[in-house]
Amino acid sequence: MKPPTLLLIVLGTILGPVYFAYCEYLSGETAEMHTLTDRADRWELPDGVILRFRGGLGYRPVVLKLTPELNLYRFRFTFDAGHPGSKESANDYQVRLQQGDIDIYQHSFRVAGSGTLALDPLAIPYGGS
């Protein structure tokens, strides 16, 4: 094997994972931060439609301006649901992203206590809110 070929293999083996880690964890910026505190079994959306939650309470919907030029979007959630002196119980959450009346993304997950959860990157096909 020629030395330049061996050098390229070694550099690719070292720099490949480093570049992936940079793109996955260090690049990007925080565009918006929202604290979700208000909960109810129904909310009125900006277009006048009533959003109802069956069997529980839901957080107030947040309107986000999303554009394809800023792809890929990653939603990161920080939870602080632990109570001192009590057993941690798991809570079920669902994230639903709509453009108009059309669901373009939906994800359900369970979180116990406190922590941070980052969802997979999401590409927005066309701009809107």
Give the pTM.
Answer: 0.64
99 three-class SS: strand
Rounded to an integer, the average pLDDT of 82-101 is 72
Q: Where are the domains of the chain?
A: 1-30, 31-129
Q: Could you tell me which residue, 82 or 43, shows the higher pLDDT?
A: 43
In contact, 107 and 94? CB cutoff 8 Å: yes
Cα separations (Å) of 58 from 47, 80, 94, 96?
A: 18, 17, 9, 12
End-to-end CA distance of the chain: 56
By DSSP bridging, strand 42-44 and strand 114-118 are unpaired
Of 66, 73, 68, 57, residue with least CA distance to 98: 66
Q: Model confidence at 35, in pLDDT bands (50, 70, 90)?
A: confident
